[in-house]
Amino acid sequence: MSGIYIHIPFCKQACYYCDFHFSVSLKRKEEMIKAIGMELQLRKDELKNNVETIYFGGGTPSLLTIDELQFLIDIVYQNYKVIEDPEITLEANPDDLTEEKIKELAATKINRLSIGVQSFFDDDLQFMNRVHNAKEAKGSLLMAMYHFDNITIDLIYGVPKMTNEKWRNNLNIAFEMDVPHISSYALTVENRTALANFIRKGKYPALDEDLAQQHFKILVEESRKHHFIQYEISNFGKEGYFSKHNTSYWQGRNYLGIGPSAHSYDGISRSWNVSNNARYIKSIQQNKLPQEIEILTINDRFNETIMTGLRTIWGISLQKIENDFGPDIKNELIENAQEYLKNKILKIKDGKLLITEKGKFLADGIAADLFIVN
């Protein structure tokens, strides 16, 4: 099975922490939607398998009208083999989710909403420069859950001055509202963001990794109490509500990335579109794909397998490592993991290399230590 990711590069305003590609000007939105539709048609032969998931990300896909979303969904169905009941996700901001908009979305093939709540407290939202407020977050979520069964929300932890009690309150609001899936990430400072600039100038306090680690521990403990499964380091879902689309990334399946800055993967190579709206539109109008392609080396593919596999409950199959990369690389992996195995940060169970509770917050660093350096 394969997935299609569609990047919608527009936002009402820039969140201080965000480094994704987007524009706050909607002047070329109509041209962009047409160009994305053309790219879908130009690349219709790239996916050999049936399409199991479609994901509208961004940016802010909920800025699109129902007609614009339906236009893109129709093009996918006209040009690709889509399974009977695909997972179709729309990322949405609370301020876009009026009752009328939610009802209209529920009448389309979209069956999963990813709502960018980030926090249920106004001071946190103002700190992040989010458009919505806490009241809108709760109200839109209540309305959405009336019309949609499959909903996930985003929450950010490690925010300066966010106490452990406040973080627990954030989580408890989600639990009380019976949200079936939570994606939660530590606030990070990315280059070329307003947040990075504010911290450099001393306008905002530097981030506290110890605070983020405390919040992560609370997140793991509290979500478990409420019967969530941490199936990936930052993703917590009740049984039957795991993200099929994101899971396909972590399990190394093929996917197609459509729109400016979107990435694609076919198991052998990775490609990505130009992160410039005007250049993207112009290229597509000339029937040219505005992309760069990188052929992945064996080492690249091994490192990606380690990075993604170690973050999930499925871990890394040692047999698959041997099948794909040979017995020598499998043995080297086990040898390099010995210190972590001895310290019970990693474990081997049922032929799989898995991360333990002790090591989850440090998963990416541990994975990097196991990489093969080119």
- How many domains are contained in the chain? 2
Per cent of the chain over pLDDT 70 is: 100
Whole-number pLDDT of residue 253: 93
Q: Are residues 182 and 319 in the same domain?
A: no
Relative orientation angle of helices 318-325 and 298-310, to the nearest 10 degrees: 170
Instruction: Give the closest residue to 276 by CA, choosing from 6, 11, 13, 23.
Output: 23
Whole-number pLDDT of residue 1: 76
Structural domain range at position 155: 2-249
Whole-number pLDDT of residue 327: 97
Per cent of the chain over pLDDT 90 is: 98
Query: Would 254 be classed as within a structural domain?
Result: no
Q: Are residues 227 and 302 in the same domain?
A: no
**Residue 316 maps to which CATH number?**
1.10.10
Residue 333 pLDDT > 90: yes
Give me the mean pLDDT over the 88-94 stretch: 98
Domain boundary among 249, 266, 282: 249
**Residue 57 maps to which CATH number?**
3.80.30.20
Please provide the average confidence, as pLDDT, over all residues in the chain. 96
Coil, helix or strand for 263? strand
3-state secondary structure 74-89: HHHHHHCCEEEEEEEE
Residue 156 pLDDT > 70: yes
Whole-number pLDDT of residue 334: 97
> HSE (CB half, 13 Å, CA atoms) of 196?
8
Long-range contacts of 165-174 (CB under 8 A, 24+ apart): 166/121, 167/215, 167/218, 167/219, 168/218, 168/222, 169/120, 169/121, 170/119, 170/120, 170/121, 171/218, 171/219, 171/222, 171/223, 172/222, 173/120, 173/138, 174/117, 174/120
Whole-number pLDDT of residue 373: 81
Q: Are residues 305 and 202 in the same domain?
A: no
Query: Would 26 be classed as within a structural domain?
Result: yes
Q: Which residues pair with 354 in a beta bridge?
A: 347
Q: Residue 374: which pLDDT band, with cuts at 50, 70 and 90?
A: low
Q: Are residues 107 and 245 in the same domain?
A: yes
Query: Would 268 be classed as within a structural domain?
Result: no
Residue 112 pLDDT > 90: yes
Token pair in block for residue 229 = 């499964």
Give me the mean pLDDT over the 261-277 stretch: 97
Whole-number pLDDT of residue 313: 97
Whole-number pLDDT of residue 85: 97
Domain boundary among 184, 215, 249: 249
Residue 245 pLDDT > 80: yes
Give me the mean pLDDT over the 103-116 stretch: 98
Q: Residue 108: which pLDDT band, with cuts at 50, 70 and 90?
A: very high
Q: Are residues 332 and 201 in the same domain?
A: no
Q: Are residues 204 and 109 in the same domain?
A: yes
Q: Are residues 230 and 332 in the same domain?
A: no
Domain boundary among 219, 234, 249: 249
Query: Would 270 be classed as within a structural domain?
Result: no
Q: Are residues 26 and 167 in the same domain?
A: yes
Coil, helix or strand for 305? helix
Q: Are residues 244 and 316 in the same domain?
A: no
Quick: pLDDT tens for 117-151: 999 999 999 999 999 999 999 999 999 999 999 99
Residue 218 pLDDT > 90: yes
Query: Would 191 be classed as within a structural domain?
Result: yes
Q: Are residues 314 and 243 in the same domain?
A: no
Q: Residue 309: which pLDDT band, with cuts at 50, 70 and 90?
A: very high
Residue 168 pLDDT > 90: yes
Whole-number pLDDT of residue 259: 98
Q: Are strands 346-349 and 352-355 parallel, antiparallel or unpaired?
A: antiparallel
C-alpha gyration radius of the chain? 21
Quick: pLDDT tens for 1-27: 799 999 999 999 999 999 999 999 999
Q: Are residues 179 and 322 in the same domain?
A: no
Q: Are residues 40 and 99 in the same domain?
A: yes
Residue 93 pLDDT > 70: yes
* CB 26, CB 38: distance < 8 Å: no
Please, where are the H alpha helices in the chain?
29-42, 66-79, 99-106, 122-128, 134-147, 164-176, 194-200, 209-225, 244-250, 277-285, 298-310, 318-325, 327-336, 338-342, 363-370
Token pair in block for residue 345 = 């940060």
Query: Would 304 be classed as within a structural domain?
Result: yes
State whether the Cα torsion 107-109-110-112 is positive or negative.
positive
